[in-house]
Amino acid sequence: MDLKLKDKVVIVTGGAKGIGAAAVELFAREGAIPVIVGRSPETGNALLERIGATGTRGLMIETELTEVDACRAAIGKTLESFGCLDGIVHNAGVNDGVSLRAGPDEFIASLQRNLFHLYNLTHFALDALIESTGFIVNVSSKLAVTGQGSTSGYAAAKGAIHGLTREWAVDLAGHGIRVNTVVPAEVWTPMYDSWIKTVENPEKTLEAIRARIPLGRRMTSAEEMASAIVFLASPCSGHTTGQIHHIDGGYVHFDRSYGNIEKDES
């Protein structure tokens, strides 16, 4: 299926690893020009090299997203390199475990890591996005709607992303700019792999997590998240805006008792 993304310039924050990397690869496969914005330049450049997105077909911009000037510079470098910007995928973020006990300074720092750069990058890119009738796709988290405990900063940031999705969709509709969010729950990524190795019994923990996922009792893949992101970025979803899409195998919206029901083998 041609998603009509050929030669579209797309920024993907945190695009060197995990969901972001899968999105970068799929954008490139669809003929778009991915721009990775974030840390891990060696990993990002290696990814671009592997998928043939180098030179005029892609770019890695090393950026500390918590810095306002760095966000401004990343947009400027993109426009300098390609002359336009067609969309932004706001993917970067980290569940940093900033709890109620962490204190105000740590809470604000968590918002800087997980929220402020969405506003900053979009602000500096706004004229370019208006000119291209572009798109914005945000990557949220199940914690925006479920909570987890001991992660006030991350949960607040992801909840705010849902609010901004609706606000920006209304604000930018007159310019034809679509704004949508995808919400992952349990997605297998290198970061998830690193986390699971820190628990006491990784395999037993994974088994319990999978058992709570109704569709297939398995985790979502990064590639499945990427497919949703790229579709929402494309003209094929041209009349979809302001929507919160849960890509999670039913994890959030199925009744919690589901995990205790034996699978119907009939």
Q: Residues with catalytic annotation?
A: 154
Which among 243, 208, 216 has a CA at the least distance from the CA of 228?
243
Contact predicate 177/135, CB 8 Å? yes
- 223 CB contacts (<8 Å, ≥6 apart)? 22, 26
Distance CA 39, CA 65 (A): 8
Task: Report the side by side order of strands in the sheet with 244-247.
Answer: 59-62, 33-38, 9-13, 87-90, 135-139, 178-184, 244-247
User: What Rg, from alpha-carbon coordinates, does the chain have?
Assistant: 18
Chain Cα centroid distance, residue 100: 25
Within 10 A of 252 (CB to CB), how many other CB atoms are there? 13
What is the Cα–Cα distance from 195 to 213, expressed in whole angstroms? 19
Dihedral over alpha carbons 86, 90, 91, 96 (to 10 degrees):
160
